Structure 1
Amino acid sequence: MPGTVGRVPTPATPVPGASTEAGADAGVLAHDWAGTPLGPPEAWDPSVRAVVELILASPMPMALAYGDDLVLLYNAGYAELLGSRHPGALGRPAAEVYAEVWALPGVGEVIERTYRQGVSFLEKESTVPLVREHSAVAEQAVFTRGYSPVRDSAGRIVGMLTVAAETTHVTEQLQSLSEVAAALAGTLTLDDVARVALRHTINTFDADQVAFAVDEGGGGWRTVRRVRGELMDEADERLPPLWRRVPADWSAPVVRVARAGDPSFLRDGQPLRETAVDRHDQKIRSMAALPLGTSVVRGGLAVGFQATHAWSAAERALLAASCELIGQAAERARRFETQHGTAQLLQRSMLPAHLPDLPRLRIAARYDPGVDGNAAGGDFYDAFLLPTGDLGVVLGDVAGHDVQAAARMGQVRAALRALALADPAPDAVLAGLDRLVTSLGAEAGTDELFVTVVFGVVDADRRQVTLASAGHPAPLIRRSDPDGRSRAEYVDLPAGPPLGLGGRPVTATVPFRPGDTLLLFSDGVVERRRQSLTAGLDSLVDALAKAGSSDPRALCAVATAAVPGGTEDDVAVLAVEHALKPSRSASMEVPAEPTAPSRVRHWMTGQLTEWQVPESVIGAAVLCTSELTTNALLHAGTAARVEIDLSPERLLVSVADTGTRGTVTRTRTDTLSSRGRGLGLIEQLSDAWGTDPTVRGSTVWFEILVPAVERR
């Protein structure tokens, strides 16, 4: 195929059956021109001969339409555009060759006007059906065509010259630029920006390797790359990019241009010779590296090829435009991550760092921030030991998604714990909170301080729980019957008015026997747009009744997914299980270093063996825990904490990280690549598993039931 705009021009393919002679195509010259208005070649006007020689020597598609009949003479490039019409179109009038389209607007009239009036014309982006070499299917190619009059030695117009330049590739690249702009508009974090930038660049330029770098803010850099042919499936696209941290003086082109602010283009060489980390880097010969073009986030983008590559003006312009868009998205992402980090820091100070670890009461909580996670929310939960030895549990909601709501939430939570430590009676605690909220509202000069809360005292010895509510949804209890079946029911508890309205809280005391689980939840769990609250409450109680386990962590996951549809509200749940028998638990802090997974395997094998856990359970649990630990260290990049809890019925293992890169995506085993294989393995070997996104990162947990015949 002849050369095109945006590519290195290549010699035109000779017309089939012809040979090249002095730059002219002998096959075209050998045509019987004597019977056409052109006449025999030896009689051609010198000016016309010069035009013909130019046409036949050019790699661009060119054609001469000669005389009043506009008979065609063209080169190999134009022959490819004609397809099956060649070679029959040689020496025939253009109106006959293009009979099916000649009368259409912008076709025959333009050619005839150029010839009759001597007026040049440029036709931009016309679509031509074209059958490529080694392809039997016609594709719609885009061309820019120019029409110019041809004059003989006496200055008379004797024909019309057509020059066609294919712009299909450029058009596709401009379309891809529009697509990447749309994709970047939906990014929130630098991880998101990196994924879009790498995918767009490697596909648009058909590159062998793409690298993306941003400054760390403390002198160093974060880089990530993508190599052509690298297996990337849907699961990998959702996982965080594998960033590599490098020093501030790193000499790779992507960092060098980011520091200097000037682009670089290398046609042939070894651009990664000094910084190569593997054979992919060593093979790169041509590279373009450009800064992101933003003053807020220093960064760069590098595109590499394993062969020599001449960077055309069109490619350079497209790369510059892409970097401009990526830079703007990186600025937005950096601002979001800064705000998100501040919101998370505030939220962390408001929620308990650890829940009580008790032999007969197992406790778990889950918090999902609403909106986009970029604001501190007003939902809160707490669980703490009372002077009486009982357990105090609370879940509340302060209206709003801003710093003020979070600050008021902190005040309410701190005051509630102080009141409960003085007098744990739920009605007395809520009465004291009511006076506090009334005072806060008067201080702020508003009557719109909306706070709901439910507080309870769990007495394991008396096997009961006493609760009081101020405008909050009633808690739910999942009960295990002696026959092994389970059921769920809401506590018959009057909601009362929200805090600050002078309400008189009413308490309710209900049985809480071994095997029961208490669930406190915020309204974000059950409220959905265009759905009644009753439907949401019914879905929640039904889901908990059908849950396969009474474990509090598992029930938290079931509760947050019980009502279909998304919510913009915060979601908070707190579950307390009254265990049938005391469980045993242990934990290990895992440093972020390569030897950590092996240390976890050794520790866990020894601990479970000491507890006389069946070997079949130990093997599956150790393998799953090793995979989760590796996943946490790889994708969060922080230290992790492994916790194991063994009851007579099941083994529960959780791995928590302190990263903020989002939740782990649950994906089917057959669609996972090597980077996500561990999650599919856990799905196969465990009886239940899930993820708990919290304000401190993510926790992935799994549960393996201990067979009844093997329980010791």
Structure 2
Amino acid sequence: MPGTVGRIPTPPAPVSAAAARTDAAATVLGHDWAGTSLGPRTAWDPAVRAVVDLILASPVPMALAYGDDLVLLYNDAYADLIGDKHPAAIGRPAAEVFPELWHLPGVGDVMERIYRDGGTFLEKESSLPLGRGHGGVVEQAVFTRGCSPVRDSTGRIVGVLTVAAETTHVTQQLQSVSEVAAALAGTLTLDDVARVTLRYAITTFDADRVAFAVDEGGGGWRMVRRVRGELMDEADERLPPLWRRVAADWPDPLVEAARAGTPSITSNGQPLRDAATDRHDQKIVSLIAVPLRATVVRGGLSIGHQAPRLWSAAERALLAASAELIGQAAERARRFETQHGTAQLLQRSMLPEHLPNLPRLRIAARYDPGVDGNAAGGDFYDAFLLPTGQLGVVLGDVAGHDVQAAARMGQVRAALRALALADPRPDSVLTGLDRLVTSLGAEAGTYELFVTVVFGVVDAERRELTLASAGHPPPLIRRCAPDDRPHAEYVDLPAGAPLGLGARPTVTTVAFAPGDTLLLFSDGVVERRRQSLGAGLDVLADAVAAAGSGDPRALCAVASGAVAGATEDDVAVLAVEHALRPSRSASMEVPAEPTAPSRVRHWMSAQLGEWQVPESVIGSAVLCTSELTTNALLHAGTAARVDIDLSAERLLVSVADSGTRGTVTRAQTDTLSSRGRGLGLIEELSDAWGTDPTVRGSTVWFEILLPTE
């Protein structure tokens, strides 16, 4: 039997039409707020406006004390509570309205502490002389009183909310508005917004099912839901949400509300009958769906229960206020993702997408953007074959974190390669590059074009390395003779002046024997605030020496995370290993199909068995690769590629996807599995692992050391 379906009214800003008909709401609307710290109503912060709307729509006594002077705004129920102090109390500081109470314990001190430091206050039995009875006699009012901070849309405390009477549950819901505003203020991506939204909705409204949707921009929608009782551990909370794409006309009330821009409610029925995907959806009896209050991003939030439910006016106002906050966060997230994608594509398009694949020289590089990851930077690296058959390697840093820095980086990198192909001597290359940077600075009319670079030539036949530097940190070499313990040493290479300042680089030639690994790095690897550069260099050398192998990809990961603490600078690392023996490699293209992980397992087992890899290593590698493949297909939604490389010391496996939807999140999380168990699995079964963002996706890899004979 179909249930009762209706439309809930949309509360206009700043107060609902229902609230506007009450006496206190009319007084609030008519008050001249421009002369107070709250300012004119048209300029109120959306989060504050939403709280005011909720207060005026509520039948429970509520008051907002706003700003440094805590000016008052309240509803009809609170007006009845304070008696003849209304309506003069509206717009006046609380200390002036209640001079007889303000200095009592638990009154003014509580309000000022919450406004200053946050936190909450709840007094279950409060007896204060707030109202006046007939004949001007002061009466004692006994009630439950709760106070909590009110935050604006940036998460800053701007006032204190007071709720009177037996309203513990309502107080918790109102506190949750401030909490979700603060949580949303810290979100960057739509994945972050979805996580906060689902967690908030299912706990605040005691829901059995919540769903969140945003438009795809091409007519379809992206939906993600959370069901009560789902196992959500800490690792799951960090994972990219499991979005589901649906058509523009999908018969889900959430999509209909988002598309139409009007909320709807089913009190008792089968709201998901035509859109149910499993038994969790089929059990939902009551459902409310509201659109996001946003101008650019279309979307919505739905909350379902397995029992009939009626929504009060206050709850509807609370949900509408929440939808407005979520909509603003979604718009900020979409702008961030667009800017981030553009900046990172620009950055990575100027870096080599593929490094040389040589039998005796293994090469890997890593680049991590600094600041907030939302800007292009000037760090760069390159490795290329020279006409002599030697390998040219370079790592440099152009000062700045903007498109101009990235463009200059591209000019410097292209010019360096051209100079090296003509004359590979490191001093000659950097001298010519110095002239270019000087010219670019003169052309731009600035003498602040700060560029450092180190360039080297690797000669595997002669087992030597020739280097020159222009103001760059010294290269590090991990020495690993067959019968000796690994150690790391910095090349004694004069740094000299940065490019553009008349650099006269000095050339240094050192031994580079089989088993050694060269590490070039930017200053973002070792520089930290309140720590000397020497301390950072020492920590890096110790970490590289203690690494399980000299594999370049593993050492890049070790170097990037060696020095504790956050850095605001870009991090670039390039590593070259002179292998003891040539390695064997194989790869497989993995289609985006449900059977793909199984096919990968069979292929990998057969390949490693043919190479006579120990059975213990095969089992661990196949299990880890299956997890990574599932993760790539699930979160990227595109085909993937599995590469395996076997040397005498280790097995290296990497899984690369070609999608960009999850790139931002994966770059900021250290969790791999589709449902949280992969992180522990990879850590337990491998000796090293890491993630490397690429131009069009991400690569996750792991390394397993082979047992010694």
Band the TM-score falls in, shorter-chain normalisation: 0.7 to 0.9
Q: Quick check: 1:237 aligned with 2:234?
A: no
Q: What is the deviation of 1:196?
A: 0.3
Residue 567 and residue 674 in structure 1: after superposition, are their counterparts in 2 closer, same or farther (change >3 A)?
closer
Q: What is the deviation of 1:118?
A: 7.6
Bigger mean CA deviation after superposition, 639-648 or 320-329? 639-648
Q: What is the deviation of 1:143?
A: 7.1
1:541-594 Cα offsets, whole Å, 9 max, x none, are: 111112121111111111111111110100000000000011111222222222
What corresponds to 1:39 in structure 2?
none
What corresponds to 1:214 in structure 2?
214
Residue 454 and residue 307 in structure 1: after superposition, are their counterparts in 2 closer, same or farther (change >3 A)?
same
Alpha-carbon RMSD: 2.3
Q: What is the deviation of 1:641?
A: 2.0
Does the 8 Å contact 1:231/1:673 carry over to 2?
no
What corresponds to 2:456 in structure 1?
456
- In the aligned structure 2, how far is the partner of 1:388 from the partner of 1:463? 15
Q: What is the deviation of 1:292?
A: 0.1
What corresponds to 2:89 in structure 1?
none
- In the aligned structure 2, how far is the partner of 1:392 from the partner of 1:566? 31
- In the aligned structure 2, how far is the partner of 1:378 from the partner of 1:123? 66
Bigger mean CA deviation after superposition, 606-615 or 562-571? 606-615
What corresponds to 1:347 in structure 2?
347
Aligned partner of 1:639: which letter?
A
Correspondent of 2:145 among 113, 122, 126: 126
Aligned partner of 1:381: which letter?
Y
TM-score (norm 1): 0.77
| 3-state SS, counterpart of residue 499 of structure 2 | coil
Does the 8 Å contact 1:517/1:577 carry over to 2?
yes
Residue 540 and residue 106 in structure 1: after superposition, are their counterparts in 2 closer, same or farther (change >3 A)?
closer
Residue 108 and residue 248 in structure 1: after superposition, are their counterparts in 2 closer, same or farther (change >3 A)?
closer
Q: What is the deviation of 1:341?
A: 0.9
What corresponds to 1:172 in structure 2?
172
Bigger mean CA deviation after superposition, 696-705 or 480-489? 696-705
Q: Quick check: 1:329 aligned with 2:348?
A: no
Does the 8 Å contact 2:364/2:556 carry over to 1?
yes
- In the aligned structure 2, how far is the partner of 1:502 from the partner of 1:419? 17
Does the 8 Å contact 1:664/1:691 carry over to 2?
no
- In the aligned structure 2, how far is the partner of 1:439 from the partner of 1:143? 68
Identity %: 80
TM-score (norm 2): 0.77
- In the aligned structure 2, how far is the partner of 1:462 from the partner of 1:232? 56
User: How does 1:129-144 map onto structure 2 within 5 Å?
Assistant: 144=164
Does the 8 Å contact 2:258/2:290 carry over to 1?
yes
What corresponds to 2:589 in structure 1?
589
Does the 8 Å contact 2:293/2:325 carry over to 1?
no
Residue 454 and residue 323 in structure 1: after superposition, are their counterparts in 2 closer, same or farther (change >3 A)?
same
Q: Quick check: 1:433 aligned with 2:433?
A: yes
Aligned partner of 1:170: which letter?
V
What corresponds to 1:377 in structure 2?
377
Residue 673 and residue 618 in structure 1: after superposition, are their counterparts in 2 closer, same or farther (change >3 A)?
closer
Does the 8 Å contact 1:628/1:679 carry over to 2?
no
Aligned partner of 1:234: which letter?
E
- In the aligned structure 1, how far is the partner of 2:129 from the partner of 2:617? 83
What corresponds to 2:255 in structure 1?
255
- In the aligned structure 2, how far is the partner of 1:231 from the partner of 1:576? 43
Aligned partner of 1:397: which letter?
D
What corresponds to 1:663 in structure 2?
667
| 3-state SS, counterpart of residue 708 of structure 1 | coil
Does the 8 Å contact 1:220/1:247 carry over to 2?
yes
Q: What is the deviation of 1:421?
A: 1.2
Q: What is the deviation of 1:704?
A: 1.6
Aligned length: 569
Does the 8 Å contact 1:645/1:652 carry over to 2?
yes
Does the 8 Å contact 1:271/1:284 carry over to 2?
yes
Residue 577 and residue 653 in structure 1: after superposition, are their counterparts in 2 closer, same or farther (change >3 A)?
same
What corresponds to 1:691 in structure 2?
691
Q: What is the deviation of 1:400?
A: 0.3
- In the aligned structure 2, how far is the partner of 1:126 from the partner of 1:449? 62
- In the aligned structure 2, how far is the partner of 1:438 from the partner of 1:448? 10
Does the 8 Å contact 1:380/1:572 carry over to 2?
yes
Residue 390 and residue 168 in structure 1: after superposition, are their counterparts in 2 closer, same or farther (change >3 A)?
same
What corresponds to 1:318 in structure 2?
318
Q: What is the deviation of 1:429?
A: 1.0
* Pair member with larger Rg: 1
1:270-326 Cα offsets, whole Å, 9 max, x none, are: 110001000000000101100001120000000000000001101100000000000
What corresponds to 1:414 in structure 2?
414
Q: What is the deviation of 1:666?
A: 4.3
* Runs (5+) with no aligned partner, structure 2: 1-59, 61-105, 107-124, 148-161
Q: What is the deviation of 1:110?
A: 6.3
- In the aligned structure 1, how far is the partner of 2:573 from the partner of 2:467? 16
- In the aligned structure 2, how far is the partner of 1:688 from the partner of 1:126? 55
Does the 8 Å contact 2:212/2:301 carry over to 1?
yes
- In the aligned structure 2, how far is the partner of 1:532 from the partner of 1:353? 34
Residue 110 and residue 387 in structure 1: after superposition, are their counterparts in 2 closer, same or farther (change >3 A)?
closer
Does the 8 Å contact 2:127/2:142 carry over to 1?
no
1:436-472 Cα offsets, whole Å, 9 max, x none, are: 1111111111000011111111000000011111111
Does the 8 Å contact 1:360/1:579 carry over to 2?
yes
What corresponds to 2:402 in structure 1?
402
Q: Quick check: 1:287 aligned with 2:291?
A: no
- In the aligned structure 1, how far is the partner of 2:405 from the partner of 2:524? 16
What corresponds to 1:367 in structure 2?
367
| 3-state SS, counterpart of residue 268 of structure 2 | coil
- In the aligned structure 1, how far is the partner of 2:432 from the partner of 2:163? 79
Q: What is the deviation of 1:623?
A: 1.4
Aligned partner of 1:114: which letter?
G
What corresponds to 2:225 in structure 1?
225
Aligned partner of 2:414: which letter?
A
Residue 674 and residue 108 in structure 1: after superposition, are their counterparts in 2 closer, same or farther (change >3 A)?
closer
What corresponds to 1:533 in structure 2?
533
- In the aligned structure 2, how far is the partner of 1:563 from the partner of 1:180? 34
